Structure 1
Amino acid sequence: MKRMVGISPALAAAIAVIFPFAALAEAISSDSTPPGQKANLIVSTPHDRQKLNLTLYQGGLALIQDGRSVDLKAGVQNIHFQGVTPEIIADSTLLDGSGFTVRERTYTYDLISLEALLKANTGKTIQLQLNGRYFGSSTGPYFVTAKLLTVQNGRILISTQIPGTEHERILALSLDDYADMISFNHIPDNLSESPALSIQVESDINGRTPVALTYLSNGFGWDASYVADLVSDQTLNLDAWVTLRNNTSVPLNKARIQLLAGEVSRAAPMYKHNRMESDNAPMMAMSAAPAGGMENLGDYKLFTLPGEIDLSARQSKQVNLFSHEQVSIEKSYTLPIDLSHNTKQLKADIRLKLTNTEESGLGTPMPAGIMRFYQPDTSGLRQFIGEVRIPDLDKHQEHTALIGRAFGLSANNKTIRWDKAGWLQGELELINSQDTAMTADILLQPLLYRKDNDYKRIPLCQTSENQEITLRLSLRPAGGEADIVHVSQEGNGVCKVSVKLKPDTKASYHYEYRINPAG
């Protein structure tokens, strides 16, 4: 039977026996203590936690404010904090409290593993229990003391004496097959059972005192998403959700969670672990968790989620941010058409305009995210009809979402003439196959006309003397039932012609325009 040394019960038990936590504590407590002055070791676990604030930033960053109670002794001591995230940005760490002075901070990234232990013991003596099928008796274990020469790709090179031989031999062994257990003499000082944060303080007091451990950490994230249920073509119900992500191996339970919307500046990383100056680390008072809400934090928006939230290790969780009913919207159908080119079966874009005001039923800052639209069918079942990604939408801002293309509203354009003299002639056909009247916004693109080796953009709308927007071209009905209800000038020279189509109809127009050569 093949034994995997890295995960076998025997190896796990051996490591657990040989490496008690006391050895790690002794290694930490001996770090850089002044001569003649022994530092006490205080181990603070998550059970000492009294308050936990977690602020999540867009881009994977989190600010963790961990309020604990620790039992300090007068003099110099190392506080070993368990339960910090492996992705901690170590030089952002702050420890606040009264009655003590912070002298130094140490963070150990190197974790205990079989490979790390082997590499740390290269050139040293180790003890191995070799598989009896290959060494010694097949009915019992075979132990050997050997010098570890090197380790590479799951194989070790050792120097040892095998019974029955006079001299030491050099053996290359595959850990998967030959070694049932490996025993080491001690834990190297640079290895830790878990990511270890140790803060050395000099205390003036004896007894339990509250401290606030604050640090920045990578490995987190949040984003917003929205569920928009269309009630009619004029209103919808809107639910906002936030997805919280803890990609670290550390659970953060009973946390007051806040979300900062906006882009904060971060220094460019110089090496693997991104650093930020600790003086720039934001500090916020740790207080009882309030009801959820939103506030301005300088130029950013800070959302506080209601209550306390458990965010387990490697977990994503969705929490409701807000809900609004009967939000007013504007629905439109647009057909962008270039009359100088033929177009066949152009489906109308379906657009929904959302205005973030209290008058429209909103008035709440909306973080960027995906908005999904649903509409009930005749039986009342909710059906998905499209999704868009919206930008950050503050109060008094608006956003028009393209959620799809209409099946029953389309256009055909046939360009009959468009020449160097500037003559434009053609036929435009609009089709409404729905059983209800539809208003389509035809977005006539400006003509691109070449004159004297120079191109000009000619808008198809013009402003009359009484400031009325009219068409430059002649647009004559040629069949069907449709009415031009409005003409307006849009941005970039686009001319919008709003046409109301009767139910189940096909309407056509002849158009003609000649560019003024002297224009």
Structure 2
Amino acid sequence: MMKKELLNTMIAGLIAASHVSWAAPREALVTTAADQQSVAVTIYNDNLALIKDARRVAVARDMNQLTWRDVSAQMRPETAQLRNLTNPAGFRLQEQTFDFNLLTPESLLEQYVGQQVSVIRTHPTTGVDTRETATVLSTHGGIVLKFADRIETGVPGRLAFAGVPDTLRDTPSLVISLVNPTAGSQNLELSYLTGGLSWRADYVAELNARDDQLDLNGWVTLTNQSGAAYPNARLQLVAGDVNRVHDAQPMLRETMAKVADAAEMQQESLFEYHLYTLQRPTTLAQNQTKQVALMTASRVPVKKEFLLQGANYYYSGQHGELGQKIKVGVFVEFDNKGEGLGVPLPRGVIRLYKQDSQGNAQFVGEDRIEHTPKNETVRLKLGDAFDVTADRKQTDFKKLAGTSRYNAVFESAYEIVLKNAKPEAVTVMVREPMPGDWEMVSESQPHTKAASGMAEWSVSVPAGGQATLGYRVRVKY
């Protein structure tokens, strides 16, 4: 770490002094973000974005070599397309090169391997500088310098360089060779795909005191780690699973959090996906995370459910006790319809809160949802109930027929005791997956056949009390 800081200090002065010479190496035509007329950013779910960068550029007639600076560092150059919006006829591209070897103290020193640099030492007492010439032999794991009479490792002073190689740039750039039909200022648009831009949906909901309604707010969380900024961009988001060939992309890791002002996003269908458009320009700064409002809905009707989930393994063998104080899951569900809803909800996490007796909102659970079309049901597991538990046991088991497990007939009986320590009555859904060809022989209350291999009972449990469910089932394999 100390070596790196020392190296940065020695080279920083040279970089600042030579900035003018390396900002536009060789190429006659350079366009920067200052020429930008507009920028549009469409972000997909899987670390992918489409950039459309429109600029006003003065170009010559016939052959031009144009350096398009300030592009994404994670640009996929094979997807780049430059169009002339002013005079498209006769405009054609011949060659393009993506330069992403950025100027840093380390990369500058690496470019000088085998070349001479000046080593400047300052006398600690007099402050007088002395200068020696040395050849850079290696930069792997440190610096090796060859002087006229010796070889030294490390950095014995400040390093001065004759210049900056043309292969190093201060910002990622696309160098384009093109043929232009007419001279003058033209409206050019560069579009390309890039990594480093992502979005996700996050939802915050608050339950009311009776757990039968909630207020829901949806946010879009945007993260820009692409190596470029997109000022006053027209932002669109695509929700859906777009098929693509995956390539490994480098990832930057620094982020800053920022919450944007609330602004509704307009939704529309796009092919088999959904497109969300922010109704105002927004700036996506490099290494920044920001949030914009997606949707809001109030007083959404909610259904709360206590669920005891069974298993199918104990229907083909003798087991006895199957568990005591078994946890009962707590779920809530609501329909994606009504005022504020009835729109496609992008995949994301819904976090639920509820106010305590002091009026403070407390976190009560979260769950992830997939892309949810309008009018579909959203179901969330919040956790396991503390005051509602169950004891389950097998009270009888016998084999009625068959020589093996795969042509056998089994009959077994079960008892489930549901306990409720809450001050109010609750209803618990008991869900038992049934294997094979099954038939309910007897039961203490009627079941519902929810699916071909599923039996369900809705059991009411009184406040501070318990309820018992008993049933006998015959299973044929």
Q: TM-score, normalised by structure 1?
A: 0.78
Q: Match of 1:65?
A: 52
**1:328 counterpart = 2:329:** no
Structure 2 residue aligned with 1:87, among 69, 74, 80?
74
Q: 1:23 to 1:392 in 2, by over 3 A?
A: closer
Query: Distance between the aligned counterparts of 1:473 and 1:227, measured in 2?
Result: 45
**1:145 counterpart = 2:133:** yes
**1:210 counterpart = 2:211:** no
Cα distance, 1:108 vs structure 2: 1.0
- What is the CA deviation profile of residues 57-102 of structure 1, one whole-angstrom value per residue up to 9, with x for unaligned ones? 1121111111111122334333322221211112211111233433
**1:129 counterpart = 2:120:** yes
Cα distance, 1:512 vs structure 2: 5.8
Q: What does residue range 114-513 of structure 1 map to in structure 2 within 5 Å?
A: 114-130=105-121, 132=123, 139-160=127-148, 169-175=149-155, 178-180=156-158, 182-231=159-208, 232-269=210-247, 292-337=265-310, 341-358=321-338, 362-420=341-399, 422=410, 424-425=412-413, 427-446=415-434, 457=436, 459=438, 461=440, 472-475=441-444, 484=445, 487-491=447-451, 493-509=453-469, 511=470, 513=472
Cα distance, 1:184 vs structure 2: 2.1
Do the aligned partners of 1:292 and 1:307 also contact (CA within 8 Å) in 2? no
**1:96 counterpart = 2:76:** no
Q: 1:273 to 1:505 in 2, by over 3 A?
A: closer
Matched residue SS, 1:21: helix
Q: 1:512 to 1:80 in 2, by over 3 A?
A: closer
Query: Distance between the aligned counterparts of 1:126 and 1:119, measured in 2?
Result: 12
Do the aligned partners of 1:254 and 1:308 also contact (CA within 8 Å) in 2? yes
Supply the AA of the counterpart residue of 2:224.
Answer: N
Cα distance, 1:138 vs structure 2: 6.7
Do the aligned partners of 2:460 and 2:467 also contact (CA within 8 Å) in 1? no
Query: Distance between the aligned counterparts of 1:272 and 1:441, measured in 2?
Result: 47
Q: 1:492 to 1:14 in 2, by over 3 A?
A: same
Q: 1:401 to 1:139 in 2, by over 3 A?
A: closer
Cα distance, 1:320 vs structure 2: 0.7
Query: Distance between the aligned counterparts of 2:241 and 2:216, measured in 1?
Result: 25
Do the aligned partners of 1:259 and 1:303 also contact (CA within 8 Å) in 2? yes
- What is the CA deviation profile of residues 193-227 of structure 1, one whole-angstrom value per residue up to 9, with x for unaligned ones? 22122223333333322221111111111101111
Do the aligned partners of 1:224 and 1:242 also contact (CA within 8 Å) in 2? yes
Q: Match of 2:405?
A: none
Matched residue SS, 1:354: strand
Q: TM-score, normalised by structure 2?
A: 0.84
Q: 1:361 to 1:84 in 2, by over 3 A?
A: closer
Do the aligned partners of 1:151 and 1:157 also contact (CA within 8 Å) in 2? no
Q: 1:116 to 1:502 in 2, by over 3 A?
A: closer
Q: Match of 1:51?
A: 38
Cα distance, 1:131 vs structure 2: 5.3
Matched residue SS, 1:117: helix
Q: Percent identity?
A: 26
**1:109 counterpart = 2:86:** no
Supply the AA of the counterpart residue of 1:119.
Answer: E
Cα distance, 1:332 vs structure 2: 1.4
Cα distance, 1:392 vs structure 2: 1.0
Query: Distance between the aligned counterparts of 2:475 and 2:161, measured in 1?
Result: 93
Larger radius of gyration: 1
Number of residues paired by the alignment? 443
